Amino acid sequence: MKTCIWCNKSTPHISFNKKAHIVPQSMGGTEICENVCDSCNHFFGANHDGVPPIELVFKETFNITRARLLGKSNIGKNKALSRFKSVYFNVDFVKNRIDVKPSFKLQTGFQSILCHQFKRSIYKIFLEENERVNGNSRDDKYDFIREFARFNIGDYPVLYYQSKVPFLLSSKDEPQKPNFYFQKKFVYLDDEHGFFDTYYLGHVFGFPIIRNWELVFDNYISQSLKQKERFYKRPISIKYLTDIDLTLSFMNA
């Protein structure tokens, strides 16, 4: 019997026929979470009441960085990135500018909605990767992540650490196959700190893994900056996707 980490329903009442890629397969993601049912897997890629799909927002966001890293020679038919044309953004890699397209910018609150969906995607990927690695994502302590990512209940922060210096990719194949790996040098996965830090395509993000994250926030920031202050700026809680240096502007230094 299999039980879904998102809806807590089990076979035979639900099916597990489709492969649930943790990072979208179209982005080169290869890791699978076995305990995501077909209905929940479909949910994250679907449009709901006109709100941008969670999976699409994730792809839209990080395909900008992938295009920056891959360069023109690796974009096109039968290449690592088959195409690059953003649905929501106008991107200028020369000037390192990203602007929401006028048709969306005129929609009241659209940029906040887009960021909200992006944050849900980060928590979604965390819970599925945690299940793949540790197998404990049905634990009650992760109920708030289920509520937020799957059922859009509440709101939780995602912090962004902007780099001060050029970086080295984890591997030369990272832009082609950018899986969401747990990075041991940035892990705060315990009750004392209550936050989890992760590296993805040159970006470092932090987010709470306990519901009452405000109680440990100051301690987390203090301990995290001790590790990162040489290479990263003080983190910001993102409100818009343009708060993230998606074009990796520091590479031009």
- Residue in 31, 38, 40 with CA at minimum distance from that of residue 200: 31
pLDDT score, position 189: 44
pLDDT score, position 182: 58
pLDDT score, position 187: 46
User: What is the rounded distance in angstroms from the CA atom of residue 136 to the CA atom of residue 9?
Assistant: 16
Give the tens place of pLDDT for each residue, 24-37.
988 888 899 999 99
Alpha-carbon 110 to chain mean position:
19
Q: Where are the domains of the chain?
A: 25-252
| Residues in the chain where the model's pLDDT stays below 70 | 76, 78-80, 167-171, 179-192, 251-253
- Residue in 222, 239, 251 with CA at minimum distance from that of residue 109: 239
**How far, CA to CA in Å, does 13 sit from each of 7, 10, 35, 160?**
12, 6, 14, 40
pLDDT score, position 181: 60
User: What is the rounded distance in angstroms from the CA atom of residue 198 to the CA atom of residue 63?
Assistant: 18
- Residue in 52, 54, 235 with CA at minimum distance from that of residue 157: 235
Matching residue, tokens 């960021």: 115
pLDDT score, position 236: 96
- Give the CA-trace dihedral at 178, 183, 189, 195, to 10 degrees: -70
pLDDT score, position 253: 54
Q: What is the pTM of this model?
A: 0.90
